[in-house]
Amino acid sequence: MIKIDNAPDPKKKPVEAKQPAVKKEKVDIYKFSEDVLHELSDDNVPSTPTNYSIYFEKMLDGQSDEFRKEIGDIIVANSESSVPTNGNISIEKEVKQGFIQIKSMLQAVVLIYKNLGVMRGLVQKRMDGLKNNTNVLALQNVLSAFNQDLIKLNDLMDKHLDVIKMSYEEVGKMFKAIEEQSIYDTTYEVYNKKFLVATISSEIESVRRYGYNASFLLVKIKDKFANRVKNLKERNNMFKSMSQLLLRTSRRSDIVAHYGDGCFAMVMKYTDENGTKQACARILNMLSSMPWKIDNEECKLDVQIVSSMISKTKSTEELLSHALDKLETNQDLNEPLFLDEKAEN
């Protein structure tokens, strides 16, 4: 048998060539975002959110599968912590208002029932006064018949009252369930404590994952000023004015929430220490300039602000608890207090 040089030996198994290890592509979303802006500028297209979104998707199509997957994961992670739409808030407000109306209606029915009982007692009292008066026998008969009608009506109302009580309890349970799931404070028209805690927790995770800056502030009217406002309605109006001013001064990416007891919070995404301090100074200046009347005396709101960076090393509870403690123990300060984690350590 003639062996041809360089011909493969049929008895030997072919050796599979080793594939070079594929190096994982590093995803830099910040550079990619800048490239999108440059592309818009080169094409002389206005950098509106809609145009940016179109170019973002267009340029993303030209990237590798791995790159697109990483960007997709980042988008999903951010969308999970996105702010609910105004439509969701509007529905929640309407549902709550509906239950308030139902409760009011049921309370009115209960009052009607009680008033019927009072009427029955009054009729009985009048009949007792007429027992010894023979000149008004006919009138007494009429009143007696009327009283019997009231007794029958009262018996009927007793049966309906059980149904009303059950309905009232069910409405109460439903209202409580909605309240527990609520993310919106309808009194001050900002987010509530539950949503605030969830937002800070989400930002802690984002800071850990992507390394960007985020911060929050707490603001509250000082006790010595708030205690001068005795009327509860007037105090709530004062807190409402605060919440609306915070909304007006906030950015689209900021979250304004009511922590409780007149203490408001603002979560500021993509904000460093310097930006946080500037925001606190601006808000303090605006709130302190807000006129308010107490017993016909013109006053300026006296508030305290505490702010902190959202740290990847602390939990939501630790961040809020520390800030609240400083808010209560530093009410003599006339300037915003920034909690510097490095300085405290």
> What's the mean pLDDT in 53-58?
80
Q: Which CATH superfamily is domain 190-344 in?
A: Reverse transcriptase/Diguanylate cyclase domain (3.30.70.270)
Whole-number pLDDT of residue 142: 67
Is residue 218 within 8 Å of 259, Cβ to Cβ? yes
- As given in the structure block, the two tokens for residue 61 are 């199509």
* pLDDT tens-place string over residues 129-172: 666 666 667 677 767 777 777 787 777 777 767 777 777 777 77
The phi and psi torsions of 93 (rounded to 5 degrees) equal -65, -40
What pairing do the DSSP bridges indicate for beta strands 303-309 and 337-339?
Answer: parallel
Whole-number pLDDT of residue 2: 44
290 φ/ψ sector (left φ>0, alpha ψ -120 to 50, else beta): beta
Per-residue pLDDT band at 244 (split at 50, 70, 90): very high
Whole-number pLDDT of residue 88: 67
**Residue 19: helix, strand or coil by DSSP?**
coil
Where b means 16+ CB within 10 Å and e means fewer, 222-249 reads eeebbeebeeeeebeebbeebbebbeee
Would the pTM of this model clear 0.75, i.e. be above it? no
- As given in the structure block, the two tokens for residue 90 are 């509007």
